[in-house]
Structure 1
């Protein structure tokens, strides 16, 4: 049976606050736990007024205290933004607070536009080129490798579950080479999904961590009692994607009836391409779409995402979706 997890953006809605977004994220995580989801992940973003998860380790501690059994983690930490020692310390601390529950998903993208390098005072292009070496150093820090000049404390001896994330062949190849589980960001960049999974599986090398390939596929999911209502609640995130692609990101806006029909052809085509891996509709619609996605990809896990302006709609959507996927 395919595992089901949740990816949350800690969305700040128009007229809302960061504090409110964090409160709703904790509520969503608790519901995900109660419904039997396997993981609850958040992603590092910067300079985006509609996303409150930039201080990712802090957000994870908040969610960890609101839950008790569900795995929590990063989907992901954008490692080029950081020094591996700092991430080892942060996730070593989380592992001490919530033992056996921490996932560390690692990505190579900056999580923001080109200005982030200036603000971080880093050459992010060069840092991205060092990504494989930084992943190895991070693993060595957790292992407490005596060859390192300094031990991470906390960190040495910690055992978060390390994942590699990606939306291209690079991450798939690296995850396969290192024998790590792989998560594909098909919720916003689905173009290379099938090819990346094929490369990952065909080139996978077993490791102490993993003896065979393990794949997670991300999907947008909006479930409601009618297809029209599901399309409506999804329109808030549609607006956010369009705003992001046009360089005007903001807070998550209220839903707009018929939003997609209002877009010019080029914008609509871009949105449809970006959100191709989406399950939107009733329980039957969602089950059919996600079953087809599992059959297509052979995913070991699905991670569902879908921010809504009304937090109650997100909770209802997850309840319906979890009922719909039972037994898949």
Structure 2
């Protein structure tokens, strides 16, 4: 089995945090339990996704605030926060607050673009400004400047009994260097590098004119990002493929996992839709089998951090089995050592 060009240094996982609308507390609690389990297993990071107007986590920042009080070491991230739904100043305050509460463990990941189904939600989200909202990179620039401590206003000082700051409060030292961008195109990864952000690259990328091979395109994105980042080859990149080890799975679990991956396999054969999206196949098998496939993956060989995505719609016990196998078998097979 070929060894990765970069030894795996950081191992994380990503969850969507599903819940029953009739009993949402149980689903949120199970997400918090998974984060705590991840810390116990030695994972370096746990990430949650935004799901607006769906039965998934709509407020990851609030969930991660709770997770920060149940854990001591594991890093906590969003992968990703779609900024089209957010006010950068208010989000900067929330991120800084949670980072302070966590002791400097927050890793916010963001992306740009109009909110999903914008025409359907615009009246509720931006009833008065929907036609003039900017959903491009400028929204990220505003967030970065506020998180990094640049002035938010020209006013500061005392007014009556109240003291005002010209910067977002609290200020969270180091948070500005832990901002991530979820990029899937050459344009976006180059821009992220120029802004000194870190790069989250997932199981979805945009096909380029030069190639429709997922691993080749993702590798080109990683190299372009680092070429445009001041830190060059030291710039942080995290890969987020869907990985499902079956070492300790029951026969029923193995069959369900393989069926899940098979149902999603057709979309990986060619670019999908007007955006020409490329999807990576889900990796299902023993840890040894998955490690061999990853070690031969051109983009995986270029990174030393991963945040493997947990599949949607599985049961809590399935996630426990998958995370346990990842931490105790797959990670070590890739050269990783548990933290703590």
**Superposition TM-score, scaled by structure 1 size:** 0.78
The answer for the alignment partner of 1:320 in structure 2 is: 325
Corresponding residue to 1:11 among 2, 13, 18: 18
The answer for the alignment partner of 1:289 in structure 2 is: 293
Alpha-carbon distance in 2 for matches of 1:321, 1:152: 42
The answer for the alignment partner of 2:274 in structure 1 is: none
Within 5 A, what are the aligned runs for 1:34-113?
34-49=40-55, 51=56, 53-110=57-114, 112-113=116-117
Q: CA deviation at 1:220?
A: 0.4
Query: 3-state SS of the aligned residue for 2:174?
Result: coil
76-85 or 185-194, larger mean C-alpha shift? 185-194
113-122 or 146-155, larger mean C-alpha shift? 146-155
The answer for the alignment partner of 1:202 in structure 2 is: 227
Alpha-carbon distance in 1 for matches of 2:132, 2:269: 29
- Structure-2 change in CA distance of 1:157 and 1:71 (3 Å): closer
Alpha-carbon distance in 2 for matches of 1:170, 1:312: 40
Alpha-carbon distance in 2 for matches of 1:234, 1:88: 41
- Structure 2 gaps of 5+ residues are 1-6, 156-165, 208-213, 271-277
CA contact (8 A) 2:219 2:302 kept: no
The answer for the alignment partner of 1:214 in structure 2 is: 236
Deviations 1:261-311 (A, max 9, x none): xxxxxx852266665242211222222223333765411211111235221
Alpha-carbon distance in 1 for matches of 2:96, 2:186: 29
Alpha-carbon distance in 1 for matches of 2:314, 2:197: 35
- Structure 1 gaps of 5+ residues are 239-258, 261-266
Deviations 1:92-133 (A, max 9, x none): 11022112111111111456322333431154895222x2x3
The answer for the alignment partner of 2:31 in structure 1 is: 25
Deviations 1:153-206 (A, max 9, x none): 434344321111122223201111112211112258784423322321222223
113-122 or 298-307, larger mean C-alpha shift? 113-122
Greater share of residues in helix: 1
**Superposition TM-score, scaled by structure 2 size:** 0.75
Q: CA deviation at 1:147?
A: 6.8
Alpha-carbon distance in 1 for matches of 2:25, 2:49: 17
Alpha-carbon distance in 2 for matches of 1:106, 1:299: 20
CA contact (8 A) 2:13 2:46 kept: yes
Alpha-carbon distance in 2 for matches of 1:234, 1:117: 39
Corresponding residue to 2:189 among 166, 172, 176: 172
CA contact (8 A) 2:153 2:167 kept: no
The answer for the alignment partner of 1:305 in structure 2 is: 309
CA contact (8 A) 2:98 2:106 kept: yes
CA contact (8 A) 2:50 2:79 kept: yes
- Structure-2 change in CA distance of 1:99 and 1:268 (3 Å): closer
CA contact (8 A) 1:5 1:303 kept: yes
Within 5 A, what are the aligned runs for 1:134-153?
134-146=139-151, 148-149=153-154, 151-153=166-168
Does residue 232 of structure 1 match 2:256? yes
CA contact (8 A) 2:182 2:201 kept: yes
Alpha-carbon distance in 2 for matches of 1:220, 1:4: 13
Query: 3-state SS of the aligned residue for 1:66?
Result: coil
Alpha-carbon distance in 1 for matches of 2:183, 2:109: 10
**RMSD of aligned alpha carbons:** 3.0
Alpha-carbon distance in 1 for matches of 2:220, 2:92: 32
Alpha-carbon distance in 1 for matches of 2:130, 2:154: 24
